[in-house]
Amino acid sequence: MEGFDVSAAEKLSAHYETLENTDSIVPPATLLERLRILRGIVSTEGNALLLAASQLDSEAVQAAEMTANCEGCVVVTGVGKAGIVGKKLVATLASTGTPAHFLHPAEAVHGDLGRVRENDLVWAISNSGRSEEVVRIAPHLRENSAGLIAITATAENPLADAANCIVAIGKHSEACPNGLAPTSSTAVMMAVGDAIAMLASQLRSFSPQDFARFHPGGALGQKLATVDQMMRNLDACRIAPPHITVREAMVRTSKNGRRTGAVMLVDQQGILVGIFTDSDLARLLETRNDTALDEPISERMTCQPTTVHSATLLQEAIAVMSRRHISELPVVDANSRPLGLIDITDVAAMLGDRDEPSILPFAS
């Protein structure tokens, strides 16, 4: 029970017990009393979560294993607040490697039962296990799917009777002042559903890179993006052989539009052997070393430049650029052949305006 103010929950209970026999509820008058009620409600839900966690058993593990092994989609169904929880769990499943969609029980009996296939797995959510709309379709769902998982308070109700797997989440006192609105029960439903989905994703060996594929937008997408999504591809890069002069390299690699800040030098096998940056050129011009412009660029390039491999996380590449104080970072394959270039100007453009949502291109 660590981290939860149990005394606050007890005081909350006492507060409402004193009001049971009154005709009207007296609103809490002071800031302290209102804060005590807020803390008590959160503590009540928190304690329910801790109790539910301690009561989870092998059935919950079986539910995660069935989910991980599902060859079709996970179909989640529920009505009322349980249905709303179910829609959120669909989103959790879908974003962590398990295709999922929601089936409304009322629509199911009007044709949507046809959305459930024999290789799909069904999650049916009902705290009481007696929701008429859900119980009515439960036999059909079990018969026409790969399995029916019931997420419900106990193992003794009509929904549990129809299920292949029963995840009993326990009975919990609602945090609602009147003990009526689903609060603690829905918090537990959500947490247990999340736990099953997270275990299933681990059983599928779902990686951060997999997660990134489903989250290309916003700060999360930026955090999990790879260099392949940000780099300039070879057709937008400046590439030259190392034996030509600096001047010739500048002319040969001239491109219209926004160019990269470096020329990548490759040998006859296409292997990266060096890099010559705009900063290198600027230093030659600042020292008025005009003769150097007609020397082989191999004498002025940086040999064995810092590189990263394809599929490296973008945040790791940015960290490398920061540590090495470089503005251009070649991306290479396993044979040190360039695939593209990370340019600091592109990174700055991506990170410069946090108010605008960024959507990175999908990796091919």
Domain interval for residue 22: 1-55
Instruction: Supply the pLDDT for residue 218.
Output: 61
Read off the pLDDT band of 1 (50, 70, 90).
very low
Tell me, yes or no, whether 346 and 262 share the same domain.
yes
Per residue in 308-348, pLDDT (tens digit) is: 999 898 889 999 999 999 999 999 999 999 999 999 988 88
Per residue in 52-76, pLDDT (tens digit) is: 999 999 999 999 999 999 999 999 9
Quick one: what percent of the chain has pLDDT higher than 90? 71
Please work out, in degrees rounded to the nearest 5, the angle formed at the alpha carbon of residue 128 by the alpha carbons of 123 and 133. 60
CB 147 within 8 A of CB 66: yes
Give the max Cα distance, the chain: 99
Q: 19 pLDDT exceeds 50?
A: no
Give the whole-angstrom CA distance, residue 210 versus residue 230: 17
Average pLDDT, the chain: 88
| Domain endpoint, select from 172, 206, 240 | 206
Quick one: what percent of the chain has pLDDT higher than 70? 86
Tell me, yes or no, whether 152 and 190 share the same domain.
yes
Instruction: Supply the pLDDT for residue 53.
Output: 97
Tell me, yes or no, whether 136 and 81 share the same domain.
yes
CB 142 within 8 A of CB 118: no
User: Binding site annotation covers 110?
Assistant: no
Instruction: Supply the pLDDT for residue 350.
Output: 75
Tell me, yes or no, whether 152 and 29 share the same domain.
no
Tell me, yes or no, whether 99 and 200 share the same domain.
yes
Among 26-35, 149-158, 213-222, 263-272, the range scoring the smallest mean pLDDT is 213-222
For 32-70, letters b (16+ CB in 10 Å) and e give eeeebbebbbbbbbbbbbebbeeebeeebebbbbbbbeb
Strand 272-277 versus strand 262-266 pairing type:
antiparallel
Is 0.85 surpassed by the pTM of this model? no
CATH no. for residue 78? 3.40.50.10490
Q: Show the tokens assigned to 11.
A: 């005081």
Q: Give the number of domains in the chain.
A: 3
Contacts of 128 (CB under 8 A, 6+ apart): 152, 153, 157
Tell me, yes or no, whether 280 and 170 share the same domain.
no
